Amino acid sequence: AAPSGARLQARGSTAESSWRASASLQHTSLGATSLAAGGCVALGCASLAQRRSRRAVRCAPRVLRHVVQDEQQFPPSRRSAGLAAAAALLPQLLLPASASAERLATLTEVDLAEAKGKVVVITGATSGVGLEAARTLVRAGSDVYVTGRTLAKAEAAVANITAGAGAGAGRAIPLELNLASLSSVRSFAKKWSSDVKRPIDVLACNAGLALGQDQKEPSYTEDGFELTVGTNHLGHFLLANLMRPQLSPTARIVVTASSVHDPSTGDPGSQAGLGNLSGLEVGHFGKGASAMVDGGSWDAGKAYKDSKLANVEFTLELARRLKQEGSKITVNCLSPGLIPSPTFFRNQSPAFAGTFAWAANNLLHISETTEFGGDTLVFMALDKGLEGRSGVFFSAVPPGQHVFMEKIPSPEARDETEAAELWRRSAALVGL
């Protein structure tokens, strides 16, 4: 296994269609949804050498700029027409190209031998990074509990994962877990302690969502919390705390975060920032009150980035608490890279989502595949170089370069005072 700080180069180059309809829910290193809103900036800075023809160099940036302007400035009917036209035009401007199915080069069979016999729980395992990680771990001999918002979704994912698994594979077991419902999280923890009764070796807090950039009003969880932070942060916060007694003595908790937690990444749009946490207080967060952690006005892109910042702060604060307790349980977080997919973009305009995914894969070359993303999660779960290490952040940067390396989280993410207060307010909101 590579040292924990090593660059993990990609291997393989099996071509797959950039329009492959694989269901995947991803967390991005550049923030796909905010790139959608600020696409005229992000798309305009692509390396000209990577464009497929002189005509593409002249025309593609203008087309994409108009796509974004249309998305932001005009009514839905006009948006749809403009986006559909751009989606149809772009493939004609550039020569065909396809994303490559890159995998982590150092995630070898020797590394995967560590998976044999492990008990793994993965949230958001019905698509994308979670699904691919579950597939790899099951084939390597782990028993993976595949959670989904509904049992039917989890069962469908299990059928996908186990197809062709072969001899020596572990099991994939479906369980229902809706992180947008505190009662569902509590039911899951109760079912585990009363029925499953197995020590967990890896708890992967991977599920997440992002709302559409043009969504003018917030959506809410079953408990009345803003949906993005309520699912991505509060749901996992409660789950990790309730499952602590079910973890093995040397278990790993892995949190899928994103590099967009850090404003220095240069991601377009409003930046992550929790302010003084004024919005995240009992009776003041959610329906009829503030939808933003910092108490500011509603901003769907910022809500996603804030949730990822909360993920990193939670990781680092839990690592400090575990160390103080003398526990050998570790907790680390990661950003698997920009993986544009139909599922991640399900709250965006379909025409824009398709255009952006095509451009990210073939024009800008800033994307990763779901297989690569799954491998990053498996690496965090198994790498021997991470034994005994806690509170570290790995990220797939630079974007589209198929490397995965340890990075220093943002200054705000490392603010211990803020993280302790975030913990206190989160605990009060979920009833701990």
Query: Cis link prior to 218 (omega < 30° from 0)?
Result: no
Q: Output the six-digit token pair for 52.
A: 């497929």
In the block, residue with structure tokens 């947008």: 180
First-last CA distance in the chain = 38
Q: Please state whether beta strands 393-395 and 405-407 pair in parallel, antiparallel, or not at all (unpaired).
A: antiparallel
Order of strands, sheet of 330-335, starting from the edge strand that comes earlier in the sequence: 172-176, 143-148, 119-122, 200-205, 247-256, 330-335, 393-395, 405-407
- The answer to whether 412 touches 274, Cβ cutoff 8 Å, is yes
Tell me which of 225, 237, 304, 344 is the catalytic residue.
304
User: How many angstroms separate the CA atoms of 186 and 427, rounded?
Assistant: 14
User: How many angstroms separate the CA atoms of 324 and 326, rounded?
Assistant: 5
User: How many angstroms separate the CA atoms of 159 and 138, rounded?
Assistant: 12
In the block, residue with structure tokens 């949190």: 255
- The answer to whether 204 touches 381, Cβ cutoff 8 Å, is yes
- The answer to whether 208 touches 256, Cβ cutoff 8 Å, is yes
How many angstroms separate the most distant Cα atoms in the chain? 64
Q: Output the six-digit token pair for 232.
A: 């991505």
User: How many angstroms separate the CA atoms of 176 and 70, rounded?
Assistant: 40
Dihedrals φ, ψ of 333, to 5°? -135, 165
User: How many angstroms separate the CA atoms of 225 and 32, rounded?
Assistant: 23
Assign 152 to helix, strand or coil: helix
Q: Output the six-digit token pair for 317.
A: 């604060």
Answer yes or no: 304 catalytic: yes
DSSP symbols for 376-424: HHHHHHH-GGGTT--S-EEE--STTS---EEEPPPTTTT-HHHHHHHHH
DSSP symbols for 225-278: SBHHHIIIIIIHHHHHHHHGGGEEEEEEEEEE--GGGSGGG--SSSPP--TT-T
Q: Which residues are catalytic?
A: 304
